[in-house]
Structure 1
Amino acid sequence: MKANWIRRGKFRDSAASVEPAAHASAKGNIAFEGARKKSGNRARNRLIMAMSCFIGIYAIIGGRLVYYGMQGDEDGGSRGPAVQNLASRPDILDRNGEVLATDIKTASLFAEPRRIIDPDETIELLSTVLPDLDWEQTYRKLKSEAGFVWIKRGLTPRQQSQIMALGIPGVGFRTEKTRFYPGGPTASHILGLVNIDNQGIAGMEKYLDSQGLTDLQSTGLAFQQGLEPVRLSIDLRVQHVVRDELVQAMQRYRAIAAGAVVLNAKTGEVLAMASVPDFDPNNPVHALDKDRLNRMTAGTYEMGSTIKSFTTAMALDAGGATLQSKFDASRPLTIGRQTIRDFHGKGRVLTLPEVFIYSSNIGSAREADLVGIEGHRAFLKRMGLLDRMQTELPEVARPVEPKVWKKVHSITISFGHGMMTTPLQTAVGAAALMNGGKLIPPTFLPRSKEQADALAKQVIRPKTSEDMRYLYRLNAEVGSGKRAEVKGYRVGGKTGTAEKVVNGRYSKDVRFNAFLAAFPMDDPTYIVLTIIDEPKPEEGKASATAGLNAAPMVANIIRRSASFLGVKPDFRQETAPMLVSYEGND
């Protein structure tokens, strides 16, 4: 019994000992599985994190590549070493806000010689698009060890597209700033032009650089968005009219050149100025040709009988003459070896208005003799005709006068021979004759009447100006300026037919003609001066004097542009008294 109990007890003890062992084994298996699951989750998380990092990095790289690809047109070419972008220039506007010059973006072709496989093949391919490519110069560039060389600046979009299609290794494009002139040659001599690096080298473009633009560019502060547009005094509408009339006149009169200016007599503002032949600043291949000279400011000429305006004003202003004065023009005047004759002499005594409208050389010589040599030179200097003109344009010539004035010089200069000045200076001096006697320096920038008055110098008496206005109007009504008359606009003026010097002698067949006008004569606001170089007689006419060509040019300009200038026509009959009758002369 006891033994059975013991067996059962042992049995129980043995069973009890087995059960805990099995339980422990099950618990161990559960723990192992948990650890394995935990380790697997951690590895999976690490893998996911690594993949996420790689995806993020490649996404950033891809995004930046897309960004740079989209920015390629603005930043330049996608290859090649960094090249500093050209500095910006401000827009140039006319007085009404019309754009005369602006910056645009164009592509330029560069090469990396070290990456060029075959220079000969590269040049041959490029020449199919760029036929004017300099083979020898380009070959030297491509054979060099330079890292970067320019091949062609300022490509057209079509050229860029065609070169890209060639797929030439080692070449690329950069976007640069290029100056664009919407009007082409319309105002070329005023605006000037820039070089390949967008720097002003002539005209108002050069003036802008001299006023601090170059300093802004050198310090990197010249940005297109931060540069205020520069407004000029030019009226693009009037400028177009002036140039168009000059081109037509050159053809009509078979001349070698022509020019004109429209000047505000009260402010000195240049409203329009042109000289033809001219050039296209967008393609200035002919800009430096000698016949493309800006004759209005950079050329000096004997202005012929237009200078008699100043001779007559000088005699009136000095107090030695009045409108009632008389001068003996009955016979030629001899000074030393010089004999002074009239073109179509009247052979009698002339009143001062007759001297003016008949354009008498003898009468002008006697007017100068009233003042004397020193007084004559002093007057012309006071009128600004003997000194280099001060204005914004860099291209301004210095007048030419005798080194030592003698009586013969004073006499010949009185009727426009022996002294050379620029046409614009002549117009500026005439403005003083018309506006009450105030000499105002010319400007190509806007200027108010108050600003002009602060700069003005009183050079003749107001009474002299009043007399000169009368003579100008008289000459247009019954004198040599009749063909400059425009109904309703009360034009006045003076012709000038100057014989040009050929082989050291004055030629009777080669002329430089001019007409100096003002309007409206009851309150002269605008001066119009036209010049035409070596005109030929029109079909059916035997002569080519200023009254037959330069005067009609003035009439056409005034007729077409007066409304743009704000001058209203007045067709009421003017009843100003006439001092003389006119027999017909130029």
Structure 2
Amino acid sequence: MIRRFITRQLRQPLPPARPESDPYARALPKGDLSGGRPAVVRVDGATKQALETGRTRLLVAAVSFTLAFTLIGWRLVDLGLMADQHEPSLARSLSSDALETGRADIVDRNGIVLATTMPTASLYANTQHIRNPQRAAERLAEALPDLSPAHLRAKLASGRSFVWLQRNLTPRQQDRVNRLGIPGLYFQREQRRFYPHGALLPHVVGFTDVDNQGLAGIEQSFDDVLRASAKPLQLSIDLRVQHVLAQELAGAMTEFRAIGAAGVVMDARSGEVLAMVSLPTYDPEKPAAAPADARFNRASLGIYEMGSVFKLFTTAMALDEGIVDLNDGYDVRQPIRVARFTIRDYHPKNRWLSIPEILMYSSNIGTVHMAMDAGTPRQKEFLGRLGLLQPAGVELSEVGQPLVPSPWREINTMTISYGHGLAVSPLQLTSAVAAMINGGTEARATLLKQDPAGAGKGRRVVAAATSEKMRRLMRLVVVKGTGRKANTAGYVVGGKTGTADKPSGGGYARNSRIASFVGAFPMDDPRYVVFAMVDEPKPTKETFGYATGGWVAAPIAGRLIERIGPLLGVAPRGDDNELIEQMLVDIETNAEGRQLASN
């Protein structure tokens, strides 16, 4: 426009020349069409104003474009090269949001994630925006096969402005729904709890509901803590050991056609539970689909009469109270009759047995004699000291209350001595054995990782000398007694087998039993206690018709120790029997002496 104005002005006839004093006149160069005479072009005030306005506008436009391109360029550089500077603030905002609606992670002792929270999309509908509810329900059921078309149709035809259709969709499910393009369907951003290891440890970690409320296990016990903190909750569990234990127990269940199994691996010094398995198990992300038997925690909630493993406690009590010494013994030739009951040995030796032999051969009669010499008050006090008369103090709500006889009569003292008449949980039993062999200090079970500096500082429950004797006796049982199938080369294993008929109808079922083994390694300096239990195992040809602790549970422990020993840093060593050499000599000497005396 300015250019056209200037052109029109230049094409107009030249006005008469003004004197050179005219400030708005200028001379034309020589040779101009005026014939060499200097010509004067007059630029009036309007023309000058127009030129100045045009220059101003051009300048403003140039500056505006320059600023715009500068800002765009700077933003591109900022996004491309300086994005990292913005990530911390973004992460902080996300973290703050997670604290309001999510939960902290749960990790094992090595930092492996056991439970975590992830953002998900939940599908809802404003049914007032859906034109054809029947067609929408059919298409939606194709995208989400778990939903019933009839159920969807009823919801979509309800006329409500908000109705949930499905919570916590996977990204693929969300994508399939999006592709339908149905008006009136919307997504709500939520948080969902995920368990990366599935059915490996739901009885420990537990699970949450759709609103992330803890309903079982650690999720329930530490619900407030997990909601209030962004720091992961670290458990004592070692996922590697958990996997091995679960695998060995599952194999035994299959082999012996059992209805269930349970196992525990514990640090004998700190009480830390490295593994706790209950079978059958379930998927913690779908707890409602699991039967009640699978959700039941046999390791901490289940209580059982453990059978002959209790002979460890009776022997330790008699030694700790000074009632017997290792060179003492009892005549076990005659069964013990009490009212209508008769107590016999499973494999009778029909002779005098020393204290080591009573434990090695698992003599019921010899064990009862020890208990009766100690008396009921001492037995109750000793078992209470070991934590067997009150629930385990572990950080779970699923903890069983032991079944204690009331009143505690003489017959109870007899049967409890060899593991009948008092029911405890596997976790309680493992803790008690840990305290008995770790030098005699309490090893309270815990599922939280502990400071190593605090290990071995619990209250004393048995004398150190008693603990040392029990280590040797347990080693003897594995080398020469009923626990030989748990003997693992290089790991100096000690332990005790147990077989207990299950209570039924006021008595005991003949073909329904608990087969168990509790042991520790290495017995010259115990670090870990292992417990394995199989519920209602069936005999096989390979076990010659037996389904006892020595044939069923002891082999589980042997294979378990062989596999987890290297993982736990326990180096294999020579398989000498220094712990029991003198004991073996004494047993042989006593047997020969008794034989000569009887002749």
Q: TM-score range by the shorter chain?
A: 0.7 to 0.9
| 1:68-98 deviations in Å (ceiling 9; x for gaps) | xxxxxx99xxxxxxx9997222222222222
Matched-pair contact (CA < 8 Å) for 1:266–1:449: no
Indicate which of 548, 552, 566 corresponds to 2:551.
548
Deviation of 1:555 after TM superposition, in Å, equals 0.3
Does residue 1:580 correspond to 2:593, yes or no? no
Indicate which of 511, 515, 519 corresponds to 1:517.
519
Tell me what 1:171 maps to.
185
What is the correspondence of 1:347-496 to structure 2 with a 5 Å cutoff? 347-454=350-457, 456-496=458-498
Secondary structure of 1:347's counterpart equals coil
Distance 2:289 2:357 in 1: 46
Deviation of 1:534 after TM superposition, in Å, equals 0.6
Distance 2:110 2:384 in 1: 35
Tell me what 1:64 maps to.
none
Distance 1:36 1:432 in 2: 103
Secondary structure of 1:580's counterpart equals helix
What residue ranges of structure 1 are gaps of 5+ in the alignment? 1-28, 52-73, 76-82, 217-221
Tell me what 1:115 maps to.
129
| 1:172-201 deviations in Å (ceiling 9; x for gaps) | 223322222222222221111121112221
More off after superposition, 96-105 vs 283-292: 283-292
Matched-pair contact (CA < 8 Å) for 2:426–2:531: yes
Matched-pair contact (CA < 8 Å) for 1:438–1:457: yes
| 1:297-336 deviations in Å (ceiling 9; x for gaps) | 0111111111111111111111111112222321111122
The share of aligned pairs that are identical, in percent, is 43
Indicate which of 217, 236, 242 corresponds to 2:239.
236
Deviation of 1:106 after TM superposition, in Å, equals 2.5
Indicate which of 97, 110, 113 corresponds to 2:111.
97
User: What amino acid maps onto 2:368 in structure 1?
Assistant: A
What is the correspondence of 1:160-239 to structure 2 with a 5 Å cutoff? 160-210=174-224, 212-214=225-227, 216=228, 227-239=230-242
Deviation of 1:32 after TM superposition, in Å, equals 7.4
Indicate which of 158, 172, 183 corresponds to 1:158.
172
Does residue 1:283 correspond to 2:286, yes or no? yes
Matched-pair contact (CA < 8 Å) for 2:217–2:396: yes
Secondary structure of 1:243's counterpart equals helix
Distance 1:573 1:45 in 2: 99
Tell me what 1:17 maps to.
none
Matched-pair contact (CA < 8 Å) for 1:86–1:177: no
Distance of aligned partners of 1:189 and 1:84 in 2 relative to their CA distance in 1, 3 Å threshold = closer
Secondary structure of 1:573's counterpart equals coil
Matched-pair contact (CA < 8 Å) for 1:261–1:274: yes
What is the correspondence of 1:69-84 to structure 2 with a 5 Å cutoff? none
Distance 1:291 1:228 in 2: 31
Distance 1:375 1:344 in 2: 28
User: What amino acid maps onto 1:89 in structure 2?
Assistant: R
What residue ranges of structure 2 are gaps of 5+ in the alignment? 1-42, 66-89, 92-96, 592-599
Does residue 1:259 correspond to 2:262, yes or no? yes
Distance 1:95 1:44 in 2: 71
| 1:373-420 deviations in Å (ceiling 9; x for gaps) | 122111111110010111112211111111211111111111111111
Does residue 1:346 correspond to 2:379, yes or no? no
Distance 1:213 1:236 in 2: 20
Matched-pair contact (CA < 8 Å) for 2:237–2:275: yes
| 1:327-361 deviations in Å (ceiling 9; x for gaps) | 23211111222221111222222211121111111
More off after superposition, 287-296 vs 399-408: 287-296
Distance 1:296 1:34 in 2: 100
TM-score (norm 1): 0.82
Distance 1:86 1:108 in 2: 18
Deviation of 1:507 after TM superposition, in Å, equals 1.9
Distance 1:129 1:86 in 2: 32
Distance of aligned partners of 1:167 and 1:131 in 2 relative to their CA distance in 1, 3 Å threshold = same
Distance of aligned partners of 1:32 and 1:381 in 2 relative to their CA distance in 1, 3 Å threshold = same
